[in-house]
Structure 1
């Protein structure tokens, strides 16, 4: 009997070890974008969209070799793009942050190279870096999830009111035309 106790305890330890090691861990759901997170991303995305829309101005300054305005544009409207892209990148899901941050670093390098080229009045480097930064901004934008703009109820109401007004206006015009057809023209008889 004494020999069975250690063997029994060894079997129990072995069975427990197998049960614990074979039990699967609970699989957690992958992180997703919540409405609050999407709203935050939409807010952080605004400077990116504005910068992308205004990039053609920088291209025009470089094409004209207007170095003063190009420099002012880099440090004015585009002056905070580094901060804005960093905030936007960090608002993404954890597995999407690294590619976005790497793309943002490439964009920063292009802006720095444009700045140096503008300071040195170097057209070829400035235009080359400009083309690359535009391409990288487009690539960066594709990494950011698209958010739907909230429905503007006031705008919807105005559109609805305009449609109703057009309908009423057409009815009034038709009624006036009918009345003019029915009522004889008194000036013809005079």
Structure 2
């Protein structure tokens, strides 16, 4: 009988220890937000991306008028600079938004390559479709970017 009590006591001690270790006080951590420094870094590059976004009609006009050299200059110049700026912005996004940002930058590169390949063979429809898709990627990327009105606290 004494042996059963000691085993029962040991079992109850183990259960109590387990329950106490699992039931600690829950500390609510606030969701990560942007600091003013990160917002400043992001906003430094956003105007360059928006400037290229506003020039979408220019690229489409170049494609429609078959100015293939100028199409290449546009994709390797302003569009490549916008892609580089998007990379800089992505590294300053919140951790949860960075994978989506990286994916959009990769997609933009794929679209730029398709525009170049279509321009090489004079494929107007292929170049136009890829340019529409490229600017759609830029639009999606800009939707990820925070505005200056975001609350400021430290990201964890």
- Find the aligned partners of 1:97 and 1:77 in 2 and give their Cα distance: 23
Determine the structure 2 residue equivalent to 1:120. 121
TM-score (norm 1): 0.68
Unmatched segments (≥5 aa) in structure 2: 150-156
**Distance verdict in 2 for CA 1:10–1:128, change over 3 Å:** closer
Determine the structure 2 residue equivalent to 1:47. 48
For each residue in 1:88-143, what CA deviation from the matched residue of structure 2 results, as whole angstroms up to 9, or x when unmatched? 12211011112222222222211110011112221111111112222222222112
Determine the structure 1 residue equivalent to 2:101. 100
> Do 1:110 and 1:132's aligned partners in 2 also have CA atoms closer than 8 Å?
yes
Structure having the higher Rg: 1
For each residue in 1:125-182, what CA deviation from the matched residue of structure 2 results, as whole angstroms up to 9, or x when unmatched? 111111222222222211211236xxxxxxxxxxxxxxxxxxxxxxxxxxxxxxxxxx
> Do 1:71 and 1:119's aligned partners in 2 also have CA atoms closer than 8 Å?
no
Deviation at 1:38, TM superposition (A): 0.9
Deviation at 1:86, TM superposition (A): 1.7
Determine the structure 2 residue equivalent to 1:68. 69
After superposition, the CA RMSD in angstroms is 2.2
- Find the aligned partners of 2:12 and 2:75 in 1 and give their Cα distance: 74
Determine the structure 1 residue equivalent to 2:31. 30
Of structures 1 and 2, the one with the larger relative CO (CA 8 A, separation 6+) is 2
Determine the structure 2 residue equivalent to 1:58. 59
- Find the aligned partners of 1:64 and 1:21 in 2 and give their Cα distance: 69
- Find the aligned partners of 1:78 and 1:137 in 2 and give their Cα distance: 10
TM-score (norm 2): 0.81
Deviation at 1:7, TM superposition (A): 4.3
